[in-house]
Structure 1
Amino acid sequence: MATRLAAGVSPALAQPPEALPPVLFLHGNGDHSALWLTTVWRFESNGWPPERLRTLDMPDPLARDDDAVPQPQRSSSADQTRAAAAAVEALLADTGAPRLAMVGNSRGGYPIRDYVVWQGGGPRVSHAVLCGTPNHGVYDWDSNPGREFNGRGPFLRRLNGGDTDVVPGTAFLTLRSDGNDLYAQPDGRFSGRPGVPTGVDAAGPELRGASNLVLPGVDHRETAYSPRAFREIFRFLAGREPERLDILPEARPTLNGRVTGTPGGVPTNRPVANATVEVFRLDPATAARQGEALHRRTTGEDGAWGPVSVAPDWPLEIVVAAPGHPVTHFYRSPFPRSSAVVHLRPARPLSEADRAAGGVVLFTRPRGYFGIPRDVVLLDGRVPPNIATGVPANATATLRLPAERLGQPVAGLFNGERLLGRAWPVAENRIAVLELTG
């Protein structure tokens, strides 16, 4: 099928809010629903009713090494589809709508395809949007035959085995990069086999029978979470252009979410009880705390850590002390709008290299990757050494500081977003995370 660059679509009359379809957002492998935070804000800022926007957290978001073999704290493709189908029914029941739209990033597109095309979900789904989904696999190899991401494996062979990849009555859209997606590369270096052809290329996310759009320059996650992707998702669902790409602030945003964990180093979205969360307002010029904590709570069985009311121009420090994890000091830019999916997954355990330092600061971008020379990426005034040039493939930079730098401001710069934080003593099992919003 011919590919076209993202261009104009025939605009339809703007729909009244009650006629807009509910939208269910599905995250990717190992991720959580908070990655859709800015996308949801942009939909709300363009008049989409908040009650018709829902994000789904897969309990065990990481795929199994072999889709058919049970593995602790990991999910199969069938697990994902069951969870998506249940979420569809719940959202339709809550809204009373006859159909909804599904939007997925990366692995999140697989259960959409499976549910809509192969499990009879088409009559429930008006639109299906797949963003950076490796629809023909990350690789097509004889090795790892049971892997969900293997184009030669049983799961993708089934999904791709029909005469078309879509069903009548459901509108399909795929969004992909023109070559900057690390999971749509002809060389196997991102799958641990450099120099070995993968059997796929940049067009791997496309589907037969769908509208297939190319977003030049975007990386794997930006196919879903960037303003550029939002524009295409919005106009595909609404039949018109969005009025704005910026986010309209609220007077007093309310924040909430869940604390989740990484038992055994495996990321999950299962709630963590007995985690203490504190929220501090910061001086935007120094990242120093402004007074006592705005909020303090110990989580229960549901992992909920809020709610807390803030102002849309307050930078925040959110401290999470969860059993089995280092005390994590999250430094966040101001939150312009309310959200119930400000999920907090504490940082990884400290490594030997970390423990040799006075303090460790992680600079992370959940909704995209750092690309050099595409992006300006500076941590403490320097380009982080662990960020490779070329295809964006790393979302976290690490800075290890001597003890004399503890308590001093540390700046992270990514293009137009600047974050300030402070290093904390590794000797106290503490780590700082500068988490970008964009």
Structure 2
Amino acid sequence: MRISRRTVLKGAAALPLAAGNPGFAALAQLAPAVPAASELPPILFVHGNGDHAALWLTTLWRMESNGVSRDRMFAINFTDPLARADDTKAEPNKSSIEDQRRELGEAVQELKRRTGASRVALVGNSRGGYSIRGLIKNGGGADVSHAVLCGVPNHGVYAWDAGLDNEFNGRGPFLRGLNEGDCEVTPGTAFLTLRSDGMDKYAQEDGRFVGKPGTPTGVTEEGPALKGATNLVLGAIDHRETAYSPRAFREIYKFIAGREPDRIAITPEAEVRLSGLVTGTPGGVPTNRPVAGASVEIFRVSADSGERLGSAIHTSQTGANGRWGPAKVDPTWHLEMVLTSAGSPTTHFYRSPFPRSSDIVHLRAARPLGPADAGAGCVVLMSRTRGFLGLPRDIVLFNGKEPSDVKPGVPGDSLSTLRLSAAETGRPVGALFNEERIVTRAWPASENRIAVAELTY
């Protein structure tokens, strides 16, 4: 049985599927008993390859809006989130399978200590699911009540004879070890997998998303499903939306709580406080290592023009721990966050209103201006971190037009770049993604400045 994209687009709810194998249904687990929101196990959220904790921002807000206490949730920030090309060979600022598993294990123990709980629930996206499965399989299952694996390439992004020590190779020793036997999950922990109906860039039969167009990957859209787990197909969502979308939130909450959430919408707070980390990209590698001596300024801006409304409402400088804030803002304000750090472009982040408080509003400077930007008077980026920019699936307009650098079909681009002439410095630039609209200002590239319309949803 399979849910068609047509059915999904008509608004039908996704159903648990047998993932292409009749044996999956027989091994699927029963939902846990129904606890009150205050009785849910503490939840630890685990980000994916090259990412950071802030991607779980809206998920945490939705959890809080359903009565889950903020102090019973935690989103890990792996020190070096990017995987090595060969897991057996060290690379600067990249992590091994064992590095990730060790850091996750430490985070589980800390969350247990902080809450007094005997077990926690783990929710992971993409590579984050590898560390979850590895931890549970290697003796950590007694600490984990639930494991929710969102868009995790459980059978590899590809399955090739070459590059067997890459952790994303389904034929390599790492994934073969996790998937050996008739049941691919560890008894004693309830497993749920969430996947896309063919729109996940890392669950494709063709290798174009891993640099080999026309070469069969050896995996299919059913790759994230596991024998022995409850396996759900969520519809025409992309790789990141398997974790960070409202649709994914419903299933994450329902699996852990044993009942439907009371609401999907985020309930605003009267007073909002924001803080986070400033992290760096040494050698061009994204890390979650703190950056000291960076300055963060926050301005309230016009929703229609991006123009500043008065002086800075917050100014801070990071210490050795890389933290900025806290800043007190109104939940209706559109914001400009200006990050200045040595060796990086001054980055002007334009953000939609923050309806709730958060201490994981993490900031990384935009990529350096490069040869492709030569001659541009201004460079403006449109960035969607919790999903991809899908054409024609989504309404994506940048400066009033569909961006030409976003490829249609399976969503695979999360960033679009707009280059303007020097004569256009200071003018407003609109970024529209479905119902979210952000207006930036164009800053001069000659001053090593970049503007970013960073989408929240």
Q: 2:171 & 2:432 partners in 1: Cα distance?
A: 41
Q: 1:204 & 1:174 partners in 2: Cα distance?
A: 10
Q: 1:404 & 1:13 partners in 2: Cα distance?
A: 63
Equivalent in 182, 185, 206 of residue 166 of structure 1: 185
**C-alpha offsets along residues 23-57 of structure 1, whole Å, 9 cap, x if unaligned?**
00000000000000000000000001111110000
Q: Equivalent residue for 2:22?
A: none
In the alignment, residue 109 of structure 1 is paired with which amino acid? G
Q: Equivalent residue for 2:441?
A: 422
Cα drift, residue 6 of structure 1: 3.0
Tell whether 2:316 aligns with 1:297: yes
Cα drift, residue 11 of structure 1: 8.2
Q: 1:205 & 1:183 partners in 2: Cα distance?
A: 9
Aligned residues: 436
Q: Equivalent residue for 2:140?
A: 121
Q: 2:181 & 2:133 partners in 1: Cα distance?
A: 12
Q: Equivalent residue for 1:251?
A: 270
Question: Do the aligned partners of residues 140 and 10 (structure 1) sit closer, same or farther apart at CA in structure 2, a change above 3 Å counting?
Answer: closer
Question: Do the aligned partners of residues 394 and 99 (structure 1) sit closer, same or farther apart at CA in structure 2, a change above 3 Å counting?
Answer: same
Cα drift, residue 19 of structure 1: 1.3
In the alignment, residue 122 of structure 1 is paired with which amino acid? G
TM-score (norm 2): 0.93
Q: 2:128 & 2:31 partners in 1: Cα distance?
A: 28
Contact 1:12 1:240 in 2 (8 A): no
Contact 1:362 1:397 in 2 (8 A): yes
In the alignment, residue 54 of structure 2 is paired with which amino acid? A
Larger CA deviation: 387-396 vs 290-299: 290-299
Contact 1:275 1:323 in 2 (8 A): yes
Q: 1:219 & 1:11 partners in 2: Cα distance?
A: 26
Q: Equivalent residue for 1:207?
A: 226
Q: 1:175 & 1:111 partners in 2: Cα distance?
A: 17
Q: Equivalent residue for 1:405?
A: 424
Cα drift, residue 146 of structure 1: 1.2
Q: Equivalent residue for 1:396?
A: 415
In the alignment, residue 112 of structure 1 is paired with which amino acid? I
Contact 1:11 1:241 in 2 (8 A): no
**C-alpha offsets along residues 216-266 of structure 1, whole Å, 9 cap, x if unaligned?**
100000000000000000000001101111100001110000000111110
Q: 2:304 & 2:223 partners in 1: Cα distance?
A: 45
| SS class of match (1:204) | coil
**C-alpha offsets along residues 36-81 of structure 1, whole Å, 9 cap, x if unaligned?**
0000000000001111110000000000010010100000011000
Equivalent in 237, 250, 266 of residue 231 of structure 1: 250
Equivalent in 42, 49, 63 of residue 83 of structure 2: 63
**C-alpha offsets along residues 378-437 of structure 1, whole Å, 9 cap, x if unaligned?**
000011110001000000000000111111110000011111101100000000000000
**C-alpha offsets along residues 252-296 of structure 1, whole Å, 9 cap, x if unaligned?**
110000000111110000000011110001112211111110111
Structure 1 gaps of 5+ residues are none
Equivalent in 137, 158, 171 of residue 152 of structure 1: 171
Equivalent in 343, 350, 370 of residue 351 of structure 1: 370
In the alignment, residue 147 of structure 1 is paired with which amino acid? N
Contact 2:32 2:256 in 1 (8 A): no
Q: Equivalent residue for 2:97?
A: 77
| SS class of match (1:305) | strand
In the alignment, residue 49 of structure 2 is paired with which amino acid? N
Q: 2:31 & 2:352 partners in 1: Cα distance?
A: 35
Question: Do the aligned partners of residues 58 and 3 (structure 1) sit closer, same or farther apart at CA in structure 2, a change above 3 Å counting?
Answer: farther
**C-alpha offsets along residues 359-382 of structure 1, whole Å, 9 cap, x if unaligned?**
000000000001111011000001
Tell whether 2:37 aligns with 1:29: no
Q: 2:261 & 2:31 partners in 1: Cα distance?
A: 11
Q: Equivalent residue for 1:16?
A: 36
Cα drift, residue 3 of structure 1: 7.2
Q: 1:105 & 1:11 partners in 2: Cα distance?
A: 21
Cα drift, residue 162 of structure 1: 3.1
Question: Do the aligned partners of residues 98 and 324 (structure 1) sit closer, same or farther apart at CA in structure 2, a change above 3 Å counting?
Answer: same
Mapping of residues 272-291 of structure 1, within 5 Å: 272-291=291-310
Tell whether 2:152 aligns with 1:133: yes
Q: 1:99 & 1:238 partners in 2: Cα distance?
A: 14
Contact 1:3 1:213 in 2 (8 A): no
Contact 2:36 2:257 in 1 (8 A): no
Q: 1:354 & 1:423 partners in 2: Cα distance?
A: 14
Tell whether 2:202 aligns with 1:183: yes
Contact 1:10 1:239 in 2 (8 A): no
In the alignment, residue 190 of structure 2 is paired with which amino acid? A
Tell whether 2:15 aligns with 1:7: yes
In the alignment, residue 316 of structure 1 is paired with which amino acid? L
